[in-house]
Chains A and B, each alone.
Chain A
Amino acid sequence: MAAVEPGAKRSGVDLAAAIPPFGRLLRRRWFPQALALPLLALLVLFLATGWWGTPVGNRNGLVVFVWILWWFLLIAVLVPFGARAWCGVCPIPTVGEWLQRRTLFGVRAEDPRDHREGPGHRVGRNRYRGLGRRWPRRLANLWSQNLAFLGLATFSPVLLTSPLASAVAIGAMVLVATAVALVFRQRTFCRYLCPVGGFLGLYAMGSTLAVRSRNASVCADCREKSCLAGSERAWGCPWLEYPSRLERNNACGLCFECVSACPHENMSLFLRAPFSDRRLRGWDEAFKAFLMLGLALAYSVVYLGPRGELKSAARGLATGDWLGFLGFAGGLWILALLVVPGVFLGAARAGRRLAAAPVPLRDLALAGAAALVPFGLLVWIAFSVPLVLANGSYVVAAASDPFGRGWDLFGTSALGWTPVVPHWTPWIQAVLVLAGQAAGLRAGWLETLATVADRRRAIAAFAPTAGALGATALLFLALFVG
């Protein structure tokens, strides 16, 4: 998306202006952070069910609520329609953020010209506790998150099925997030370390919601820069972004601090066409797209496929089948870090030769990888559909008996396993894969055209990537429908 010219109106529907009560809600400091508190209570409850509840995964509240309900809502609803709205209410960093701010809904602001020393440190006009270190520049990218997510994915067969392992992993995330908040400033953990945050940022690019400035000329004339530096009304952007210049969704956690902070009411929430942000900015982002696609492929084979040997091998870590586990982990890493990147980098290289385009390979490869943002998101949704259609009833049953101890809180614990229209799965999946292919072709083409500039060269440059995307779509169709 091109930068908005000064004075130009942003395209899309300005939701705060269109629905005034919603606009007032967005400017409240407690929104949406207050929602993290009940979620924190639920998180504690689910950690307890994971720790003390039944070891049977599909009867344990933690496994069922997190890996069926939360996962599906996240990937199929929140990300496509709400960008990183989850990050705005996520309870994992709540404790650390409170330790930094020492207030739930208040703001600590002071005049930057005031040189009095206080406890903690100052960022812009806000004062925080903790050491307030800056994250090292070399690590200010997605690579840590790429590795962390691949690591989690490697242990997914245990995480998805063992409540105790899930509790340990999620509990460890809370501890790490809290420790990082004490040493580094603001949402450094969410931005650079959270394994979930990496792919949320990537796929949020396609979301129909976006926080943006309303009018660039207002920002150009602005002296306070409260969205960045904070004010007595709100904290400066916790995500280390410069909100008035946001042109992509990747690192926006939808906390709406900037909407509350702006004295000109120039920050708002926009409803827009899907897949509007396209530009990838580095190899770290391209590899995020590659590895997410590789994992979607591997998961579709292992979890949705009929091969029992693969399922046993994947769980080898828990059963002592070390060779099997090594095969699963090796296959996953090779697919995610070598095969998928190899195919799409090879396609970019071939396109560059075909087009004789005087463009660096990196630029062309990033343009082509833009196709994998919509495609990756939609195949992940396609992968997740049968999990809820087949196993969604576990959520209803576990709500009444989260510890699996024979409780019946809401009278639903006796509900047996009840799949809901599971035979619609291939149809829904085919539609999602094809929609992903179409949106991916469009995104990759527009980025390639913007990179190469010449239309005929762009066609030659994009053709191999389009072919690779088509072949990948056929592969997913064969897995889902065949």
Chain B
Amino acid sequence: MGHRPASTALRGMLAAAVVVGSGAVGLLWDSLPAGTPTNRTVEITARSFAFDPAILRARVGDTLTLRFASLDVVHGFYLEGYDVDVTIEPLRREVEVRHPGGPEVELAEEVTLTLDRSGKYRYRCSKTCGAMHPFMLGELIVEPNRLLPASAGLSVGLLLAGVVLVVPGREEARDGRG
């Protein structure tokens, strides 16, 4: 029973290579040529307990100008990874903009963001607005979101590596058992 140590080590290395390779293929999958960065204005509407748009897609390098409105009570707009926290009052164009990294607070009608980091960032309500407040969130996807194809590649790689690890070797195949 069992494999000889050399073949076990070889299988292990091959399996690891398969996993890493699949992850790498996943990474390359998304390297489409980047378009020219665009400038967009997006209206973010908050209500209990959702943001509209719920999912915001953009490309790295794009500039987003965000304007805000609340349909009911006071909500917040905290963007993960971007040091922006906005307080949105109902029936008011002006919002209070805070940068959690620093002390200054300013009033503004819009917030301009240059998307210099790719990936998935959630925007969360930062002002207690009711029961489901801790779960009030939306998603900013800044393409290329490389983690998705890379992790999907790794996931497929795990299945392939499993095959490499368990298929019977030649000798085992001959006597029909593992």
Contacts and interface: CB of A to CB of B under 8 A. Distances in A.
Contact of A423 (B119, B155, B176, B177): B119
Contact of B50 (A57, A307, A390, A417): A307
Contacts of B151: 430, 433-434, 477, 481
B51 A419 contact: no
B47 A308 contact: yes
B37 interface: no
B133 A419 contact: no
B34 interface: no
Given A57-B134, A482-B148, A456 B178 contact: yes
Contacts of A302: 135
Given A437-B155, A470-B156, A477 B148 contact: yes
Nearest to A470: B159
B50 A309 contact: yes
B132 A312 contact: yes
Contacts of A123: none
A329 interface: no
B128 A58 contact: yes
Nearest to B124: A390
B178 to A, nearest CB: 3
Interface stretch (B60-68, B89-97, B102-110, B162-170): B162-170
B178 A308 contact: no
B49 A306 contact: no
Contacts of B163: 459
Interface in A283-312: 302-304, 306-309, 311-312
Given A312-B132, A419-B124, A456-B178, A441 B158 contact: yes
Contact of A311 (B121, B122, B135, B167): B135
A401 B156 CA distance: 48
Interface string A388-428: 00110010000000000000000000000111001101110
B168 A311 contact: no
A459 B166 contact: yes
B158 A470 contact: yes
B138 interface: yes
Contacts of A101: none
Nearest to B23: A434
Max chain B C-beta neighbours (<10 A), residue from A162, A309, A314, A477: A477
A111 interface: no
A478 interface: yes
B136 interface: yes
A59 interface: yes
Contact of A417 (B126, B154, B167): B126
B120 interface: yes
B81 interface: yes
B137 interface: yes
Interface in A434-455: 434, 437-438, 441, 445, 449, 454-455
B168 A456 contact: yes
B132 A427 contact: no
Max chain B C-beta neighbours (<10 A), residue from A59, A308, A422, A473: A308
Given A309-B50, A390-B124, A456-B168, A441 B136 contact: no
A390 B176 CA distance: 54
A438 B158 contact: yes
B43 interface: no
A106 interface: no
A307 B134 CA distance: 14
Max chain A C-beta neighbours (<10 A), residue from B121, B152, B155, B163: B155
Interface string A120-154: 00000000000000000000000000000000000
Contact of A308 (B81, B131, B136): B136
B54 A311 contact: no
Interface in B33-92: 47, 49-51, 54-55, 78, 80-81
Contacts of B21: none
A372 to B, nearest CB: 15
Nearest to B168: A455
A303 B120 contact: no
Interface of B: 47, 49-51, 54-55, 78, 80-81, 100, 119-122, 124, 126, 128, 131-139, 141, 145, 147-148, 151-152, 154-156, 158-159, 162-163, 166-168, 172-173, 176-178
Interface of A: 56-59, 157, 161-162, 302-304, 306-309, 311-312, 314-315, 318, 386-387, 390-391, 394, 417-419, 422-423, 425-427, 430, 433-434, 437-438, 441, 445, 449, 454-456, 458-459, 466-467, 470, 473-474, 477-478, 481-482
Please provide the 5 A-B residue pairs with the shortest distance between their CB atoms, ordered closest to farther: A308-B50, A455-B178, A423-B81, A306-B54, A161-B131
20 contacts: A161-B134, A302-B135, A306-B54, A308-B47, A308-B50, A308-B54, A309-B50, A315-B132, A394-B134, A419-B78, A419-B124, A422-B81, A423-B81, A445-B162, A456-B173, A459-B167, A466-B159, A473-B158, A477-B152, A481-B120
